[in-house]
Chains A and B, each alone.
Chain A
């Protein structure tokens, strides 16, 4: 496979075709923060915390490093005032959901994000989709999925599948950066509770 030479934060990096910027940066020991990214899963591009700057044909663009493919002579910057500002806002928007999630807190410290900038939202879920995608792509059971869209989007276990598959799997639990997933699971268990024994005839 052809080696592709690009520049990340001033460093020359060699990558192979089809690699994403996150992967290429990793080989050079450059860290790009991610929340929805997972080695075993298809790149998703949902959280946008991995936003970086690329120079392309004289234009500077913000792109999501977890899905953007490497290209010859690409110039990439992983930190800039603009990038930091974007990441700070993304964090503040997510902290409205999960102010105590440690991953968010660590990043909030780095980017100076204010956890109380926005009013606290009811759901902890930050919609990284790790549980949904892991169950789909790795476990291949689709026991948990997204329901609805836009701001009403939520994760939800499908009771019929979850009742059969989840009790001895729970592989998604440690992936969840907040406690939203386990909460959803507990709610789903309630739906699957065995029916009450029928009352004896009087």
Chain B
């Protein structure tokens, strides 16, 4: 491919691209994102290729591995264009039928469609599936149309037109004004207005400035940046180049964790392609503007998502935060003005340029505009990535899009904002999602993690879990974070083990206050949030653990006992055979008994006992009834003896 040297050449090239693709040509898009690949998407793609070849259809049907559309729960996801027929959980064995039925006969393979669990109703088209229907997929919606290994798919859907518009029709100041007007706020956690950050860098006197993509996504259960970087890397590059133009930077970095090998591969490939086409490098599109991008692989530290730690790591030093009293947009990487924005923030920029700030601001709340991608995980029917307009309620995300809690369990809390976010209870589910709204209830937007918890989740244990994560991921530089969390984790662990004592809650509160006030970076300052928010909304659980040695969710191992109800046990031997520590005694027609001294509380018996018996129980805060006398353990067989 020859370099594109002007906006006219770009449009000419796009025209040619459009003319080569007949919109009625069938195209099979298979999600090749990390989630679907893990459930066998590569084999499905290979099966399609082989089948198309044996049927002699290679020339007439397009097949591609694309970015992640978000419905990870039902992967591998296949969408067939132009009709947009959506098949879920496709296996290689399904491929011949899809080709013969859908591609050749234009018939729908019913059994692969989405089935609404509550009604049994089937949905044929992607956009009609409830999971997608209530979303506003401005950013992630393109993923399924794009083979991220090529640049042509992105150009096909209008890619790099915003860049051309900016370079040839807008001054840097005008770009800055548009972004400011859109009130785009950082999607990485802080929610700082991107336009103001850019302006600070632009106005800084240093001549050399940098723009950086923060792709060091490290929250447990969060994968939206990964899906964008893997699925549509050019949209991020385009945003980055526009940002560089606006602030007057000629050098950019993509800081991506090496645990995301596919993201590293796809962004590296995208940079090569963009350079070849003339979207990167010297004299971009013949505009005279120069800009290069380099990929830096992070070594996998959560704290390196913090802006100053990330920059320190980019400089080749240990990834530790430094004081931020002078903002990094003025004095950042190598002490030069550096604009660091998250993947999703950059991906929003081309949209704002193309459609205008007025279009962007029509979505969202007063303080939070546009859409936000959340990774919806935990005890939720539809695990996956969802992009919703700001201002949607948590209830709509969880119930309408997420499909509610599986297994007939009750919702307990949703944890937003990653490990240093907070847990929001049922009573606040009608909260509108936005940066300030979430902060007000003691949580935060963070980068968009959303972990749903049901009634079986112990909130004290949740706080302990996140504290444990943060203790591990703290850089260890400052005392309130390193030492404060060490002590907090000890106290919380003790509470979950039934060793809590009076004064523990107050001590945790005191440690939290010092960590919030005196820690060096946002990691330490927000680390107490999991504790503080669970205490705020679930104080009774803390008190039950400490005062009654009881875990209300029946989850903390040290505080529960397994007990077999002799009236319900049918002596079926299932739990007895499966117990890994031989802690269940009994026999045929002999009621089973858990020997408490031998029980390791692994829960195997609880899971194994058929639900129609439900004989295995968890007890907490009450003594285990003594085993029934041996002579009473015989069960008389009524039915079978007849």
Contacts and interface: CB of A to CB of B under 8 A. Distances in A.
Real binding pair: yes
B220 interface: no
B520 A127 contact: no
A152 interface: yes
B165 interface: no
Give the interface SS of chain A, mostly helix, strand, loop or mixed.
loop
Interface in A23-65: 43-49, 51, 62-64
A46 B517 contact: no
A90 B520 contact: no
B484 A153 contact: no
A26 B322 CA distance: 23
Interface stretch (A106-114, A143-151, A178-186): A143-151
Contacts of B471: 150-151
Given A68-B323, A149-B474, A150-B473, A94 B486 contact: no
Nearest to B487: A118
A69, A93, A149: residue with the most chain B Cβ atoms closer than 10 Å? A149
A67 B473 CA distance: 24
A150 B472 contact: yes
A129 B484 CA distance: 18
Interface string B303-332: 100000000000000100011011000000
B70 interface: no
A89 interface: yes
B479 interface: yes
B323 A89 contact: no
A68 B318 CA distance: 22
A69 B573 CA distance: 72
Give the interface SS of chain B, mostly helix, strand, loop or mixed.
helix
B517 A151 contact: no
B510 A89 contact: yes
B480 interface: yes
B478 interface: yes
A118 B489 CA distance: 13
Given A45-B478, A62-B518, A151-B482, A89 B511 contact: yes
Interface in B462-476: 471-476
A67 B323 contact: yes
A94 B483 contact: yes
Contacts of B517: 51, 62, 82, 86
A96 B518 contact: no
Contacts of A149: 301, 303, 473-476
A63 B517 CA distance: 8
Contacts of A153: 475-476, 482
A86 B511 CA distance: 9
B472, B473, B480, B517: residue with the most chain A Cβ atoms closer than 10 Å? B517
A40 to B, nearest CB: 19
Contacts of B484: 89, 93
Interface string A89-130: 110011011000000000000000000001101000011010
The 4 A-B residue pairs with the shortest CB-CB distance, nearest first, are A153-B476, A93-B483, A150-B474, A67-B323
14 contacts: A44-B477, A48-B479, A51-B517, A63-B325, A89-B484, A94-B479, A146-B318, A149-B473, A149-B474, A150-B471, A150-B475, A150-B476, A151-B471, A153-B475
